[in-house]
Structure 1
Amino acid sequence: MPEPEKTPGRPPGHELDPRSLRGLAHPLRMRLLGALRRNGPATASQLAERLGESSGATSYHLRQLATYGFVEDDPERGKGRERWWKSAHYSTHFNAELYDDDNPDTRGAVSVYLHELAGIHTQELNTWIGTMRDWPSAWAKNADLSDFTLRLSPGQLHELDDKLHALINSYSDVEPDEGAARVRVHLHAFPQKND
């Protein structure tokens, strides 16, 4: 699948279509891909140990991710039969047209993907809250857990989302200061019915 065109404020990545979404929409596959993107290349055994899974399961699901173009061999690493894997793309983009797909398999994959993504975000946030005292206090003072309620149309929500992504992506090329750490930023924006 060709890469989506590079747009301002959005790094190049893999845009999901119905086929690739069905290949990715599995809890372990999403965790494997996330681990490779965050921590770099690894073997199935290393990933199994890191994620608390069997190496047979990680090996199988890595091959499935490769079939759908999410991961690939890293030939610069390993020796003999040792097989190293790396992410094939910097990021994954969810194509909004997937919401309108009438195929029940695609609709099920959308649901699995989004629920798993929400679970991953919740786990990451809970880990931060549970370990923030292990970090220097400057991190806790500058981290953010905010929520806002706005009245917007779908078009205005899209505009807000584009601006937020552009701002966040503008930091991807910033030279880190001393004491920098990997920072996760989660964005959730969705409509709510009035109570």
Structure 2
Amino acid sequence: MPQKPEPERITDVERLRAFMNPLRMQLYRLLYASGSATASQLAEHVEKTPSLVSYHLRKLAENGFVTEADDRSDDGRERWWQVASEEGWGFRESDFADSPEESAAVGAVARGIFDTRVAQFRAYLDGKSAWGQTWTDAAFSSEWLLDMTPTELAEMGEELQALSRRWRERVAAAKASGDTTGREHVSVHLYGFPFRP
């Protein structure tokens, strides 16, 4: 069985710094969800000027997170953009632990990612009634408090990644076969981290 592609593991802090600007994270997430878009289309979603959005897209492209979607441009006057990898990317904080400056930058990026996720969930909660009962009954939010070892937590994380990958493949296959009826973008956030009461 062929090896499934994994998300790119970023180990260069300069690349991660591209996401210290919250607008770039927002643009990346919009592109990931939409597949491709122009700066003008994205500017409408984020309520910024197309020139500012273009600037930030170019910065993301310089760092390898987005690329031009050449096959989308009909007349060449407007650039179409897409994420560079369908598998996405990730990082381990331990890769940046040797330098306090790098550790602080990674912490800022992680907090920015979390803030973006919280804003997205808040937007859902604020507009939940517009989705109707079928979607609100299907949506979930859970928290489990477990006593685990680091090894167990890592194993659980790997199992959740495998589960997520199976669902991504299932959805991609359904969409490729033309099954698009009733589909919406769905965001699933799971966190696993130690805490002391």
User: TM-score, normalising length from structure 2?
Assistant: 0.85
- Highest relative contact order (Cα 8 Å, sep 6+), 1 or 2? 1
| C-alpha spacing 1:80/1:166, structure 2 compared with 1 (3 Å) | closer
1:52 Cα deviation after fit:
1.0
In structure 2, the residue matched to 1:45 is 40
The one-letter code sitting in structure 2 at the alignment partner of 1:181 is E
1:119 Cα deviation after fit:
0.9
RMSD across aligned positions (CA): 2.0
Q: Is the 8 A contact 1:26 1:112 kept in 2?
A: no
After superposition, give the CA deviation of every residue in 1:23-48 in whole Å (9 maximum; x if it has no partner): 23321111111111111211222211
Q: Output aligned runs, 1:176-195, within 5 Å.
A: 178-194=181-197
Q: Is the 8 A contact 2:93 2:106 kept in 1?
A: no
The one-letter code sitting in structure 1 at the alignment partner of 2:118 is T
In structure 1, the residue matched to 2:99 is 102
In structure 2, the residue matched to 1:128 is 124
Within the alignment, does 1:61 sit opposite 2:56 as a pair? yes
Q: Output aligned runs, 1:9-158, within 5 Å.
A: 11-17=5-11, 18-78=13-73, 79-90=75-86, 91-104=88-101, 106-158=102-154
Report percent identity of matched pairs. Answer: 32
Uncovered stretches (5+) of structure 2, i.e. residues with no partner: none
Uncovered stretches (5+) of structure 1, i.e. residues with no partner: 1-5
In structure 2, the residue matched to 1:3 is none
Q: Is the 8 A contact 1:41 1:86 kept in 2?
A: yes
1:103 Cα deviation after fit:
4.9
1:122 Cα deviation after fit:
0.7
Between the aligned partners of 1:49 and 1:162, the Cα distance in structure 2 is 37
Aligned residue-pair number: 186
Between the aligned partners of 1:112 and 1:191, the Cα distance in structure 2 is 19
After superposition, give the CA deviation of every residue in 1:115-134 in whole Å (9 maximum; x if it has no partner): 11111111111122122221
